Amino acid sequence: MRAGVYPALARLIEADRIQDEDLHHGAINPLGAQACKAYLAQGRAAMFEVLKRSSLWLYRRELAQESAKFAKLRKLVDDMVSYRSKVPNADNPGPYDGTNIRHMIVLADSPCSAFITYMQLAYAYEKVKVMLINASTKHEAGASDSGYGRSQIIEDLNSPCNETSPNEILVSTYAICGAALNLQRANYCVMMEPAKTTDAEKQAAARVNRRGQDMKPITVMLYDDRNLAESVRLSRRANHEEMLSWKDNEIPWDAFVC
C-alpha cells in the first residue's frame, strides 16, 4: 500500500535505490517534523536541508512524475490558489474574513505517503504555506520549538487572513487528523488513498464539510483502479462492512459454527 500514491516507490525499492527502512515511520516521522519546524522557524532553505537527509529527496522528481494522484492534487491546489483573484458570490461565497483565500487539508493512510506528499508540495509551491502533522509533532510547542506544535498549526489554519496571507495546506494521516479536528477556515479536503473504513473517509470529509461552513466544501478521494493493492483493500473493506451489517441484512450469523 505504500506505493499506492507514489508507484515509483515499488520500482525504486526493487532496484535497491531505496531501502525499506527509509520508509519506516520511525525514520520519516522525526525527519518530517524537523523539516516543518525548520520551515516555520527559518524558511524553505532550512527545510530543504533537513529533507535532503532522506534518500527519498534524490528521487522526488521521479516520485512526482509517475504519480497520477499527485498530478491531480496539484490541479486541486492550483484551483484553490486561483480563488485569490476571484470575487466571492452567492453561489460560491468566500470566508468570513472578507478575503477569498482558501486552505486545504490533505490526508494519507500511511506516514510514508504523508511524508512524500508534504515533501512534494513544499518543493512545488513556494508561495503556499505547507505544514505537516505526524506522530512526532508535539501537541504544544515549547520555547525551543519555534511555534511548531499541533495546536499552533491548527490555530494558524483557522486564523483570519488578509490579502497578503498565503494559502495554507496541512498534510497528515487519517489516524492523526482525520477526526475530531475543527478546521473552520479550510474548505478543501483531499484524501490521497482509500481509508481502512468508509467511516474514516466520512470523518475526514467532515473536517471541512460541517455546519456553519461559509465556503463551498470540496472533498475528493483519489482512487486508482489500476492499483491492485487499493482494489483489494476496497474489496475487503466492502466485505467486512457487509458482514458487520448483518442485523440490517437479517443474516443469522448465530447459526454459523466455526
Task: Give a yes or no: residue 248 inside a domain.
Answer: no
- Give the neighbor-by-neighbor strand order of the sheet with 218-221: 129-132, 168-173, 103-108, 188-191, 218-221
Q: Is the pLDDT of residue 38 over 80?
A: yes
User: Does 257 map to a domain?
Assistant: no
**Domain holding 213: CATH number?**
3.40.50.300
Tell me, yes or no, whether 69 lies in a domain: yes
Position 1 in a domain? no
Is the predicted pLDDT of residue 210 greater than 60, yes or no?
yes
| Grid cell for residue 152 | 499552533
Tally of domains within the chain:
1
pLDDT > 90: what percent of the chain? Answer: 61
Q: Domain residues for 72?
A: 8-240
Q: Give a yes or no: residue 42 inside a domain.
A: yes
Contact 25, 112 (CB under 8 A): yes
Residue 97 lies in a domain: yes
Q: What is the pLDDT of residues 174-191, one digit of tens each?
A: 999 998 788 888 999 999
pTM: 0.89
Structural domain includes residue 219: yes
pLDDT of residue 241: 65
Q: How far is CA 45 from CA 10, 38, 59, 212, in A?
A: 29, 9, 18, 38
19 within a domain of the structure (yes/no): yes
CA dihedral 178, 182, 183, 184 (to 10 degrees): 150
Query: Among 58-72, 103-117, 183-197, 222-236, which is the least confidently predicted range?
Result: 222-236
Q: List the Cα angle 145/150/155 in 5-degree steps.
A: 105
| HEC per residue, 41-96 | HHCHHHHHHHHCCCHHHHHHHHHHHCCHHHHHHHHHHHHHHHHHHCCCCCCCCCCC
- 230-249 pLDDT, tens digit per residue, is 767 767 776 766 666 655 65
Q: Give the pLDDT band of residue 196 (cuts 50, 70, 90).
A: confident
Estimate the share of the chain in helix, then strand, then coil, as percent rounded to the nearest 5.
50, 10, 40
- Taking 60 as the threshold, does the pLDDT of residue 18 lie above it? yes
Over residues 157-162, the mean pLDDT reads: 94
Range 144-162 average pLDDT: 87
